[in-house]
Structure 1
Amino acid sequence: MGEALSSGSDGLDACAVLGEELARDGASLEEALDGLRQAAWHAVGTEPSYDMVAAMVLAWGETTLGYLHQLSCDDPLTGLASQAHLRSRLAELHRLGGDAVRDHALVVCSVPVGDDPSDDVGDHFTRAMRLARTGESARTVFARDETIARLGTRRVVVLTRRDTMLGRRAGVLRTLLGGGDPSGGVRVWIEGVPPSDEGTGMLLDDLARG
């Protein structure tokens, strides 16, 4: 960062990189700000600008929050299991072997695009609350020890055992969520768990991007 400032650059990109690296190293926000101040004084003999501080703090905060979300079993906005937790549960099934994988399935609930104020790109809270309501409906149908997780911004996934009632339970959930409405409701379908752990990771990534 010192090199960027010395060259006449505004240093904002360097500040963002500094914030990310310090967060990954476990530095506190106070330590990060102190490091930025020292670098600015050493490079140009002045306090860092407001924009420089903001760029570093934003990068530090986003990196730290992302790390905490990976550790958490629950998504903080919806109360559903996090994608990391669902991934961990599926990895456990793969470690148990083929029968455990074949005996489970994923029930996917996909919220439609364009029919709700939550489709506003900036309205993260409203969108999260809609996913939370979808999760509550899923819990009324899958009320045993199933893992119900949030994937991305539009999908809720249930990891459940396969049994003779699975198709019927998925149909009940579809009805609860309005999936039978021809004008467009929440889509519900069943996905098999891929036979390999790598394939499972790819499936979750695809579902999260959808």
Structure 2
Amino acid sequence: MKIFAARGRRLAVADPGMSEPQSTVERSGLPHRFEAVGEALISGSDVMGACSVAGEELARDGASVEETLAGLRATWQAAAGADPTYDVVSAVLTAWSETTLGYLHQLSCEDPLTGLSSQAHLRSRLTELYRLGGAGVPGGVDDYALVVFAMPTGDPSDEPGDHFTRAMRLARAGELARTAFARDETVARLGLHRVGILTRRDDRLGRRVQVLRTLLARAEPDTVVRVWIEGLPGADAVAGMMLDELARG
């Protein structure tokens, strides 16, 4: 079964009956994407590195985990006459799973626990802004800001493994954020305790932030919820690093 590609693939082997010029895969007799692994195995060079690269490439191709393991075993049998070791299988599957997971995260627009936009979606919205115009360009990033609020720590939702209680707390806070920012703003989850709101920087921004502070204070009367405005940096890459830093906070 494919993971995220529509195009099918088969493990290619050389066909001695073919009269047309054969591809590199067919000439080597090794499965697609495993040619470098076979070469590394035979030459004694960096097999683990080649396995990691093969796992990443197969994930991008849309190969299933079954196909990936079958190709790995066929390569080892052809080049070494034995089955691959645990370390080799682990290297391939780790690379495959991390690449696949990264792809799926990029597709996700909504955080499944809170119903807020995902951090990946907020990141893509920022990238769109930078494509429209960087710093100093009308309608570009200078016309937008990121409003952030951080729920206080130290309550029962911070117990290890209590993801549901923490998520519900953020979901309620997110609904309050949508009350204060009720236009086309992107309200997204940032890490475990923070929410980010991508909004236009206009003459009403300060007043709307104050409304949000008031709503959060009423919802969390025994705590102090920090709310602040983050200016957007001049470069898209720096904006990505800023989001990562906010999510770790």
Normalising by structure 1, we get a TM-score of 0.72
Counterpart CA distance in 2 for 1:36 and 1:190 is 50
Counterpart CA distance in 1 for 2:201 and 2:170 is 24
Is residue 197 from structure 1 mapped to residue 240 from structure 2 by the alignment?
no
From 119, 139, 151, the equivalent of 1:111 is: 151
Q: Which residue of 1 aligns with 2:102?
A: 66
SS at 1:69 equivalent: helix
Q: Which residue of 2 aligns with 1:93?
A: 129
- For residues 36-55 of structure 1, the aligned pairs below 5 Å read 36-38=72-74
Counterpart CA distance in 2 for 1:156 and 1:76 is 15
RMSD: 3.8
Q: Which residue of 1 aligns with 2:115?
A: 79
Give unmatched runs, 5+ long, in structure 1.
5-13
Q: Which residue of 2 aligns with 1:143?
A: 182
Normalising by structure 2, we get a TM-score of 0.63
Overall identity of the aligned pairs, in % = 65
| Change over 3 Å in CA distance of 1:153–1:144 after alignment to 2 | same
Q: Comparing 58-67 with 46-55, which one deviates more in the overlay?
A: 46-55
SS at 1:149 equivalent: strand
Counterpart CA distance in 1 for 2:171 and 2:219 is 20
C-alpha displacement of 1:156: 0.9
Counterpart CA distance in 2 for 1:129 and 1:70 is 23
SS at 1:99 equivalent: coil
Considering Cα pairs closer than 8 Å and 6+ residues apart, tell me whether 1 or 2 has the greater RCO. Answer: 1
Counterpart CA distance in 1 for 2:61 and 2:221 is 51
SS at 2:177 equivalent: helix
Counterpart CA distance in 1 for 2:168 and 2:89 is 32
Give unmatched runs, 5+ long, in structure 2.
1-36, 42-49
Q: Comparing 31-40 with 88-97, which one deviates more in the overlay?
A: 31-40
Q: Comparing 48-57 with 197-206, which one deviates more in the overlay?
A: 48-57
How many correspondences in the alignment? 206
